[in-house]
Structure 1
């Protein structure tokens, strides 16, 4: 029964996210918002709507560990697993704007969350701050897009391309209905998913936090998985990367922010294990994006394999720690003494080698 509830919750979350994204995207385009802004905001935020629904629902149900674990686990899953598998399909080109703007914003949001969580909770005021920053980020993207669109129109002599005739979902009532149905499916799906996850945790003796960091976070990230893998298969590689980065920003500012707002006077509690380990894994994963993205401005297949390998190692550590397994000390020593340092050295060599190649190509061009 719990398995059926879990699967039903996942199906509702995926279908609800798809309906919400489709309706909101078409509605935004109908009001003249550029596809770029729609992709960075509504699509990326829409695919993260399951995380928000689950986190807020868990807080209202008193399961704050699931709420926090879901966000932290989803951000780790998005970068390591989704980008890793996408890069294994095809090397992912990284847009220069992502390196200069979006990834630093993701890093800043991750650092801010770590700073706010140091006292063991995210208060209502801090949650409001995070959510306000999300609104500011969205406004910034819209203003930036309008400026770029105005510059493009001036270069083309003011000419505009007429919009193509839309399909069945191009009418305003249909778009509003899709948004309403999507939101309802997300709420219902999140409730089923949280209930099933809690039952799983009790049945196998694993804490709510571990379930949130693994099963729930991976399940609520299915829309991101579908969007990024489809983009990679179609060759739209920048979309695959942009979707992950935008979703991670939304998870921190939106999911944690709104969860903190609805948590009441007690605030959103952060478990000691999250403060001591998982939050820093999330931050390290965000930091790893910069050197990886800068190696030739693409995520190569070998880098994708490293990402996937680290996600497997992360989940393995969580399971071993939850069961207090005898192999945990040896596993930790191998990871920290050999695997992690070797990966860091390899990435640094690749990054500086790429920069050297760029300088040589510039010098040859001048010659």
Structure 2
């Protein structure tokens, strides 16, 4: 029994010794240096991140792609104030043509959009009222002629002591009254737009022409509205034509109260139309004195030369008012800015290649040529200006999944 117990104890001890020997013979686990990146490797990974990707490009390839390099540095940026506006007729060169007498249109020579010259005949009206006025003028002239003959006779007889002075004075008074009647009749015709030359021809006119009323253009321009056709009966105040001189137009702009100190009479401004791709320089000729209670704004007018008549009334425009020139320490050409992963970037030259540099944008010049760099780029650094989109394309191909 004792021998059996001793054998069991020895067996357990032997198994323990054997297990301990195996444990001592086992090697510590091998640490794979590549499985845990070092600090330098982490820094290298960050350097090769898309945000700081380096694009190698030889000078020959750069020249072939048309990539032009510029140096970032200080620039004078002219800031501008953009105001909404609309093209309108120059109200100083617009005329509403009305007949001034009632009648019937017998001829309309100009169609809508037709050019006209000052004094050109554009329509003819037959008016009974005009015929009556011309008849009154003709009658007044004939009576004055008779009064003149009577006066000349009475003056001669009075000088010869044949007639009494009373007859002479009566004839003189009658002549003066006849002159007054002629003058009054002439004034009524002149008020209708007839010229003195036209009045002088009335005694020679036939009865059929007494009612003829010619309607003429008041100045050089273009027919922009027409409200008359042949045979139409019109009243004295009816608008027959609207004629506008489109050689100059107004850019009517809305100026808010907070911008009033930056807008002045005689100021040069730039007017742009994005819809038609037009641009012109004009001068502010009027600045309103009243502020609208609802919009808290006033209106200003810009005189815009329009020799080709491309600026059309009703067209919406943007008016750029130059404020001042501001020096900025670092600016780049606007075409150098690219967007990568929803962030503005520039491509900075290093050796035979370019580095993608995230930037923070600042103010933009009024002509859009320069953009201020707030962060990301220092003065003196060289960057890709022209055709920088080629580098963006190369960057996109490099980052594409293989």
Q: TM-score, normalised on structure 1?
A: 0.18
Structure showing greater relative contact order (alpha-carbon pairs closer than 8 Å, 6 or more residues apart): 1
**Structure ranking higher in strand proportion:** 2
* Structure of larger gyration radius: 2
**Structure ranking higher in helix proportion:** 1
